[in-house]
Each structure stands twice: as C-alpha cells, then as structure tokens.
Structure 1
C-alpha cells in the first residue's frame, strides 16, 4: 500500500518536470526562429504592385505611376478642357473667339499660364499667341521677358517669323531684352528662311543689348552668312574683338570664294 501511494504521488511531479522541459524547448525554438530575418514571398521579385491577400500582383495594370503621373496632375481639369477646346475651334475664328470669352477669360492665373506653356510645348503657337494676349490684359500681369522669350522661340522653330517679329516688337516696347538663346533661335530662323538682312537686324539689336553677347549667335551667323561675304566680314570683325581667344573658321576659297 505504501509503495502504491508513493508511485501515485510521483506522477504529478514527473508530469510537471516533463511539461517544464517541453515549455523551455518551445521557447528556445521560437526565439531562435524570431532572430532570423523573415524572407518576403517571391524573393527576388521587386516589381510594382500592391499586395492583395498575401499575393503580389505580377502584371502591369496600365495605370501611370511615378513622375509621369505627378506631371500630368500639374495641369488642372479646367485647363485641360480649355486646351482641348482651343484646338477644336482653331480653324473657326468666330467659335474660337466665343470660346475664349466664355472659358479662357475665367481661368485663374496658374491655369492660364499652364495653358500657355502647354500650347507652346504642343507647337500650337498661334493659339499660344492668343492666350498670351489674354494674359497681357490681366490685372496681375507684369512684363516678363521669359514669357516673351519662350513664345518667340516657339514661333521661330515653327517658321512663323512674322508673328515672332510682332512679339519681338511688343517685347521691346516693354523695355525687355531676351537672352542669348532667344537671339540664337531668331537669327537661325531668319537664316533658314533666306532673310540675312533680318538676321543682321536682330544681330544689331543683340550688340546694343545691356547684357554682353555670347559666342553661339556669332557662330550661327558666321556659318549662315557664308554666301554673303560682306556681312560675314562685319560679324567676323566684331567676333574677333569680343572673343580674341577664339578662332573663326574660314572655309576653303574654292567653295564660297574669298571671305
């Protein structure tokens, strides 16, 4: 009886010891696994796409992302509507003027400038000129050489030199002078159209500007005036005086004669 009682009393003791050992082993195992860095599913895949229900989207959903999407958001919905409307009615002057009165005039400052810049980027230069005329009539408008410069350069690249010169005259009436980049584009535009006299007029304006001229417009003129040696010699003389350390290239005499 004493032996049976003793064996019964040992069962809870051994059970508690076994339970304690199992608990210690479990804690040790869990701590060792927790120290390891978990690996994400589909290791090595860094493609875009949100995680849905534990799975990564492995396809492109067609939505723009990154700087492209942020750039599109810079233009408001109303400004985009105005751009589309202007392009729609650009061949109908009556409808175009009506659209300008009803929609363009009601735009806020930032939207109006955004429409102007976007039309210049799309090379809708004649529409950009009409929007710029609206900008000049606003109460907040102040003479800005950069607005003129971008518009004149866009007109020169599209070979609309008459409109470019009209904007040039308006800019000079506001006592504004463009930078070397604008002079270069206008001079290149006149030389491309075969008007060296007009290119020389812009050159004279550049020489009289308050800012000193840069080298690039001279290079454009020296190349474009090869068939006109008298005009080229004048430009070459000024170039050598302003840039004595530079060299003006003269082509062989058998190609264009003596320069």
Structure 2
C-alpha cells in the first residue's frame, strides 16, 4: 500500500470506499503525530479452509490429469507418473481438489491407485468425502463400487469419528444397503465402537424405512452397554 503524508492539523477521515480505517492520533516523543491504518474488507471472500491449499506439485498434477482426460489420453499412465510420485499429504490434497471440482471419475482413479500404496490406511472421513461428491453428481453405481472396496479392507477401529461421518453421508444418500453392510463390518472388526455410532445407524435406518435392521442395531447397543457395564463392575 502506498504511503500517504497527512497534515496533522487536518481532521482524520474514515473512507469506506477506499477501505482505509484511520485510528486515533497519538503524539510521539519527537512531537510527530502517529496514527494506525488498517485495511477493511475488500470483497466477500470467506476465510481459507484448512487443508485446501495445494502445493505447486499437487496443482501441476491436477492440471496434467485434467488435460489428459480432455485429450482422452492414458489417464492411468499420468497417475503413475505424477500422482504416485507426490508425498502423501499432496496426493490426498490433490484428490480432494478433484472432488471439489466435481472430477469424480478422475478422483476415483487416483484413489484406486492410492489404495495400492504402502502408506495407505483406511480413512473413513475420506470415504465420506468421496461418497458425498458422488451422491451430488448422481453416481450411485460408483458409490456401490466404492463401498465394495471398503468392505474388502479390514475394519479400522481408530477412526470412530470418520466412521460416524461416513454413516451420515450414506444415510443422506439413501444408501441403506451400504449402511447395513458397513455396520456388519464394524461388528466383525476388532476394537470398541462408539455408542454414538449405534445411535446414528439406528436412527438413520429407521428414517430409510429399515425398521427391522434398526431394531437389530438397538439390540446390539443394549448388549454392548450391558457388557461394558459388567466389565466396569468387575473391574472395581
């Protein structure tokens, strides 16, 4: 911002058009009047979303893949040469950027490649983001395929928050069968689930008209709470 010289004797003005806010005058030891200038809002842009900023490498990978898709080039070859060379945070950030731009078919291919990497671990929050994007674009068959891939993975008990989010997204997308299947995966898995998840699944299945399945979830919750209370009693 260009500096401006103001007459100390002149009254300070508040200019809303220029976006300059002039604070109160203060006199320094050298008898020079000082004031603070701060910039007001320039437009209606919202705050930056954490994790949305892409590195240069990630941006180039996204642009390269989009160009290859437009030219109907070999997308799988581009993914191997660009995306799989990115570090994990950049790869996931570029995947989310493709989802944000509604390039869901490209995001699915990138995700399929990422699942083959050694660092990959089940991330239910990421699955929820993908299901949400697919549902917005009416890609129901792709949701079924994505859930099938998830069912092939072993249950990860360390992501209860992400799992609850995934259930909510599937319920919102009217995917009752997928909810039941993933719930079954949770029951067969190791680790202690969250009580909140039982309640989300039960309420969601009832909303989708799956009353009998919701009743089974309620029974499981009662057994879970009973066992938890018993363990607490005998441990005292």
Normalised-by-shorter TM-score class: 0.5 to 0.7
Which of the numbers 198, 201, 213 marks the counterpart of 1:221? Answer: 201
Gaps of 5+ in 2: 1-26, 136-141, 227-236
Whether the aligned pair in 2 keeps the contact of 1:125 and 1:154 (CA below 8 Å) is: no
**Greater helix content:** 1
Which residue number corresponds to residue 154 of structure 1?
129
3-state SS of the aligned residue for 2:219?
Answer: helix
Aligned match of 2:73: 94
Quote how far apart the aligned CAs of 1:181 are.
3.0
Give aligned pairs, total.
Answer: 189
What secondary structure is seen at the aligned counterpart in 1 of 2:119? coil
Name the structure 1 match of 2:222. Answer: 240
Change (3 A) 1:243 1:123: farther
Give every structure 1 segment of 4 or more consecutive aligned residues whose post-TM-superposition deviation is greater than 6 Å. none
Pick closer, same or farther for the CA change 1:46–1:241 going to 2, 3 Å.
Answer: farther
Q: Which runs of 5+ in 1 are unaligned?
A: 1-33, 49-57, 245-259
Distance apart, 1:80 and its partner CA: 0.9
Out of 53, 58, 74, the residue aligned to residue 79 of structure 1 is 58
Alignment CA distance shift 1:92-1:222 (3 Å): farther
> Matches of residues 36-75 of structure 1 in structure 2 within 5 Å?
36=29, 39-41=32-34, 43=35, 45-48=36-39, 68=48, 75=54
Tell me the residue number matched to 2:107: 128
Higher RCO by CA contacts (8 Å cutoff, separation 6 or greater): 2
Match of 1:188 in 2: 168
- TM-score (norm: length of structure 2): 0.59
Task: Name the counterpart of 1:24.
Answer: none
How far the C-alpha of 1:163 sits from its partner, in A, is 3.3
Aligned to 1:119: 98
Matches within 5 A, 1:21-36: 36=29
Any conservation in 2 of the 1:156–1:185 contact (CA below 8 Å)? no
Residues 1:209 and 2:189 aligned together = yes
Q: TM-score, normalized by length of structure 1? A: 0.55
Residue 154 (structure 2) pairs with residue 145 (structure 1): no
- 1:145 aligned counterpart, secondary structure: coil
Q: Is the 8 A contact 1:76 1:111 kept in 2?
A: yes
The answer to whether structure 1 residue 171 and structure 2 residue 150 are counterparts is no
**CA distance 1:134–1:202, change in 2 (3 Å):** closer
**CA shift in 2, pair 1:80/1:35, >3 Å:** closer
